[in-house]
Amino acid sequence: MGMLHTMPLRHSTSLANLTTQKDDCSQPTGAGGPMQASPLLKAYGAGMGGDGHNYTEDCLGINIWTKPQTGEKAKAVLFWIHGGGFSSGNANAPFMDGARYANDEDVVLVSIHYRLNILGFPNAPGLKEQNLGLLDQRLAVEWVRDNIANFGGDPKRITIFGESAGGGAVDMFAYAWTADPIIAGIIAQSGAAGSMPPSGNGKTPNSAWYAVSKAMGCGGAEAGEKTVECMRGKPTDLIMKELDRQTTGPGITPFGPVADGKLVFKDVAQRGDAGNFIKVPLLVGNTDHESGLTTAIAAAAGGKNPFSSGSSGPGAAMMGGTNASASAIPSGLAAMLPKDFNPMNIMDSLMSCGSGTAASVRIKNNIPAWRFRYHGDFNNTSLGPGTGAYHSSDVPAVFGTTELRTGNVKDTPEEAQIIKEIMRAWATFAKDPAKGLTSLGWPIYDAKKDTLIRIGYNNQPGLNLAPATQYDQVCGMMKSMMGMMGI
């Protein structure tokens, strides 16, 4: 399997077809699950994997969209890391196509695949590295630095951006690679290092590893490091099927970034306060109704939150899973919660508070930071009544591909204008991370002033500002609750 199962291709002089995208990285498909129960969710799930996708362990690849014959000779680079709870997802979904970006905004758009779930974050006994997926991301950034000039890109202006797990990954990158940053800016959408709890401590193997190894006939904890060599001999597709059997949350497994003290840290808050991160400008934010995605999935699952049992790790916690279930909330804090508190809505607060913290840390260290909140709720991206601006609904808006999200419904005039504004903002940030957004009238973040940029508020284009305190009232309680829950 992934740790050393597929040997990398060394230098080759033979011709290669670089006009097709790499297959998705191996992942559980969730076949027959709630993501397949609703036509809207099935269309949405195309970005996470599922039916009709080809999977392989030999999946590492880079997509590049560029238009070198026009505009700047050395263009700013937007480097995309997809989401999926570090368990699923891909960079090939039509709504993450970078052609419009390269054509309209005079940038080079790059997206990548990285190893996922048990192959990318095994937390297995005896392995030197447990965060292989994050190392894949770093290797891709290094490759872009060394080669993007050949595609019309400027290696000195690389902005990494991502959503959900991708948003967390770009912020983790800032804490991991201080000695050799490479990047010039960071855009984190619905994810931050402090809002994604590690799935392990780097010392004790994940019990989920042993559960899978035992089911695959390799023994459990009693077999220790022998399980790794045995698992390497098992077909990857059978391992993924076993993950499907052991996981109730669609596409979310207990395997994710491990707090190894090198790439992922338990003390992110302390490191942030001390300024121990890459000091480049940050644009960070989230959607207005993150938990709308959970609402849609729960509705498709007959009203039950499929993340509420049998799932753990960073993905499940974000989605309102085991670590966020009502029974897991300490009684002392439960008394502090509103009577109508729904654990499924923990995702809203987790993402919003994480965005605020990430922005505040930069401001404290005199680094420019901007904070946004995406409100767009349109027919061609909606997952049903009550889902609103759900988790990841901003992704097709950022790529200008909303008409491809859940069908081919045309953008409304207002939606089309909002898309132009958000694409221009992201590209402007990449071209000049320190001052670009200021030129658009976007104020640098100040938690005490009206500096939260609301994008698509009431489905209308144009600049709309609000105080962050309007959305951050529960952040103190959330911080205490997450600490007591060990998240």
Q: Helix/strand/coil (H, E, C) string of the chain?
A: CCCCCCCCCCCCCCCCCCCCCCCEECCCCCCCCHHHCCHHHHHHHHHCCCCCCCEECCCCCEEEECCCCCCCCCEEEEEEECCCCCCCCCCCCHHHCCHHHHHHHCCEEEEECCCCHHHHCCCCCCCCCCCHHHHHHHHHHHHHHHHHHHHCEEEEEEEEEEECHHHHHHHHHHHHCCCCCCCCEEEEECCCHHHCCCCECCCCCCHHHHHHHHHCCCCCHHHCCHHHHHHHCCCHHHHHHHHHHHCCCCCCCCCCCECCCCCCCCCHHHHHHCCCCCCCCEEEEEECCCCHHHHHHHHHCCCCCCCCCCCCHHHHHHCCCHHHCHHHCCHHHHCCCCCCCCHHHHHHHHHHHHHHHHHHHHHHCCCCEEEEEECCCCCCCCCCCCCCCCCCCHHHHHHCCHHHCCCCCCCCHHHHHHHHHHHHHHHHHHHCCCCHHHHCCCCCCCCCCCCEEEECHHHCCCCCEECHHHCCCCHHHHHHHHHHCCC
User: Could you say which of 242, 289, 391, 392 is catalytic?
Assistant: 391
**CA–CA dist 125, 205 (Å, integer):** 6
Alpha-carbon 142 to chain mean position: 20
Alpha-carbon 357 to chain mean position: 17
Would residue 164 be called left, alpha or beta, if left means φ above 0 and alpha means ψ between -120 and 50 degrees? Answer: left
Specify whether 403 is catalytic: no
Specify whether 164 is catalytic: yes
Specify whether 142 is catalytic: no
User: Could you say which of 105, 163, 290, 415 is catalytic?
Assistant: 290
Task: Give 410-415's long-range contacts (Cβ < 8 A, gap of 24+).
Answer: 410/380, 411/378, 411/380, 412/378, 412/379, 412/459, 414/459, 414/460, 414/461, 415/376, 415/378, 415/380, 415/456, 415/459
User: Could you say which of 38, 87, 111, 164 is catalytic?
Assistant: 164
Q: Which residues contact 104 (CB under 8 A, 6 or more apart)?
A: 400, 423
Residues annotated as catalytic (active site), given as ranges: 164, 290, 391
